[in-house]
């Protein structure tokens, strides 16, 4: 499916964004490991988290999707899963594949994890290496670099492991394996990445602690299920933060949005750029901070994003590029080479699409440089099958002159199925 976006008109009002994707994956996986029933409220039912639920069902987890966005599942007390009869299909979801590899490594059965053609290209060795050190038996193409991967569950042992890159998926895979291991697992995290796994396990009173840069997990300790309420997804909110900042006469309120400090690098960058964005009505639910965000149209200036800031805005960099085209001065993004191994090569996708919109952008191996403000021209752009590129380019269409056509737009369904209907609020009023 393709969509056509015309230049937007100011929108004033409230926007309700979907539940956090990262936290929904974790609620399902960690709830499955717990003892007792987990009721998850405001679960993200888009394609990625649905893939996680169906993989869990294949290893014996009873899942009930009750009323809208409510999931109830019965925990397996760490080791009560069963051997799947078929491959576990993570589809497009890196979080599903990598976190499940941690869980499956410590079970007593054989399983195979696969994914779609995008996920089959993404690096898995980063997860396979530490899991093998814990005793996991994982085999696959290129010595376990790529899906499909076959896992023969083993009796794992805790390790000391220093994270070679700030990846929450890698960290979480090792934490989950640590829960199943004999003894203690220690993970040293020199650069922080999103900490939803640690927060949720702490909320459930599992044996996990963090001291300075070290996360410690005591293995084979059961923990009890509890009700989990998922906040709104900050990454999904960012598309409408960008739309509100850039389209004249906009004023948007985003209630109950997750504002975990490891996720809000985009908010900090926007403030440095001069964006009007206010955070209020703060609260904490299930050990995750939430707030209401109010954003209005702003004059922006260029900003430098350094390598150490990247993990906290890794999924928002396509939007940083869009803001940069409209901001006065130079915006530089460095240290973001991880973007090349996301659902698409996001640096390439940003450069190709913005060049089609007549933007002068300098591509770097690990980022890009844009000097603004520049005129965005409506053009034919592509999602490259990547939900974050599709949504960022649709917002770019609101700012561009003329019509923007976004090819392969359906991939929004990975995280945000009703994205387009919310975006049309900038098209229809007035
Ligand atoms: C995620 C972690 C990040 C992020 C991805 C979701 C998670 O990936 O880009 O969209 O849920 O843990 P990495 O951990 O590979 O950096």
Is the pLDDT at 430 greater than 80? The verdict is no
Do the Cβ atoms of 227 and 75 come closer than 8 Å? no
Confidence of residue 160 (pLDDT cuts 50, 70, 90): very high
CA 268 – CA 265 distance, rounded (Å): 5
Q: If residue 138 lies in a helix (H) or strand (E), which one and from where to where?
A: strand 137-140
**What number is the average pLDDT over the span 255-274?**
98
Is the pLDDT at 75 greater than 90? The verdict is yes
Angle of helix 125-133 relative to helix 168-180, nearest 10 degrees?
A: 30
- pLDDT in the model for residue 335: 97
**What number is the average pLDDT over the span 3-13?**
96
Is the pLDDT at 59 greater than 50? The verdict is yes
Query: Best mutation site among 95, 164, 173, 176 for ligand 1, i.e. most ligand atoms within 8 A of its Cβ?
Result: 95
Angle of helix 387-399 relative to helix 234-246, nearest 10 degrees?
A: 20
CA 175 – CA 128 distance, rounded (Å): 13
Tell me whether residue 315 is one of the annotated catalytic residues: yes
Ligand 1 pocket residue status of 236, Cβ below 6 Å: no
Nearest ligand 1 atom to alpha carbon 342: 9
Q: Which residues, including other chains, have CB under 8 Å from residue 301's CB and lie 6 or more apart?
A: 273, 274, 327, 328, 329
Which residue in the list 195, 233, 256, 315 is annotated as catalytic?
315
Query: Best mutation site among 51, 194, 231 for ligand 1, i.e. most ligand atoms within 8 A of its Cβ?
Result: 194
Place of tokens 């869990």: 56
**What number is the average pLDDT over the span 56-72?**
95
Report pLDDT digits (tens) over 337-382. 999 999 999 999 999 999 999 999 999 999 999 999 999 999 999 9
Q: What is the mean pLDDT of the chain?
A: 97
Confidence of residue 293 (pLDDT cuts 50, 70, 90): very high
Confidence of residue 427 (pLDDT cuts 50, 70, 90): confident
- pLDDT in the model for residue 305: 98
Is the pLDDT at 221 greater than 80? The verdict is yes
Cα dihedral 192/194/197/201 (nearest 10): 70
Global pTM reads 0.98
As a whole number of Å, the CA-based R_g of the chain is: 21
**What number is the average pLDDT over the span 97-113?**
98
For residue 194 the two structure tokens come to: 């999103």
Confidence of residue 429 (pLDDT cuts 50, 70, 90): low
In angstroms, what is the span from residue 429 Cα to ligand 1's centroid? 36
């Amino acid at each position: 499916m393709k969509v056509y976006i015309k230049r937007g008109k100011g929108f004033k009002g409230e926007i309700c964004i979907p539940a956090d994707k990262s936290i929904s994956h974790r609620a399902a996986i960690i709830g499955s490991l717990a003892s007792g029933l987990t009721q998850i409220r405001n679960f993200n039912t888009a394609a990625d988290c649905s893939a996680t639920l169906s993989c869990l069902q294949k290893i014996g987890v009873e899942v009930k999707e009750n009323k809208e966005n409510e999931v109830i599942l019965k925990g397996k007390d760490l080791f009560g899963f069963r051997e799947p009869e078929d491959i576990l299909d993570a589809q497009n979801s890196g979080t599903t594949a990598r976190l499940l590899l941690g869980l499956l490594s410590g079970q007593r059965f054989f399983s195979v994890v696969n994914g779609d053609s995008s996920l089959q290209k993404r690096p898995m060795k980063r997860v396979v290496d530490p899991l093998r050190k814990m005793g996991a038996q994982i085999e696959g193409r290129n010595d376990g670099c790529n899906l499909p991967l076959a896992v023969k569950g083993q009796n794992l042992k805790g390790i000391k492991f220093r994270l070679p890159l700030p990846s929450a998926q890698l960290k979480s895979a090792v934490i989950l394996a640590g829960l199943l291991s004999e003894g203690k697992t220690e993970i040293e995290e020199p650069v922080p990445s999103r900490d939803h796994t640690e927060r949720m396990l702490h909320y459930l009173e599992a044996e996990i602690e963090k001291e300075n840069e070290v996360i410690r997990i005591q293995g084979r300790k059961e923990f009890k299920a509890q009700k989990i309420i998922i906040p709104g997804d900050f990454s999904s909110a960012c598309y409408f933060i960008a739309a509100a900042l850039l389209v004249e006469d906009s004023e948007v309120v985003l209630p109950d949005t997750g504002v975990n400090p490891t996720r809000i690098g985009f908010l900090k960058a926007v403030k440095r750029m001069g964006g009007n964005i206010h955070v209020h009505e703060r609260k904490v639910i299930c050990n995750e901070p939430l707030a209401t965000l109010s954003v209005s149209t702003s004059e922006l200036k260029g900003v430098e994003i350094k390598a150490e800031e990247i993990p906290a805005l890794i999924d928002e960099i396509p939007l940083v590029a869009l803001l940069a085209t409209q901001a006065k001065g130079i915006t530089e993004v460095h240290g973001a080479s991880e973007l090349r191994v996301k659902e698409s090569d996001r640096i390439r996708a940003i450069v190709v699409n913005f060049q089609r919109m007549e933007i002068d952008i300098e591509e770097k191996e690990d980022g890009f440089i844009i000097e603004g403000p520049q005129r965005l021209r409506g053009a034919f752009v592509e999602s490259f099958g990547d939900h974050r590129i599709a949504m960022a380019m649709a917002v770019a269409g609101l700012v561009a002159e003329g019509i923007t056509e976004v090819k392969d737009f359906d991939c929004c369904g990975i995280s945000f199925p009703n994205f387009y209907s919310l975006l049309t609020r900038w098209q229809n009023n007035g």
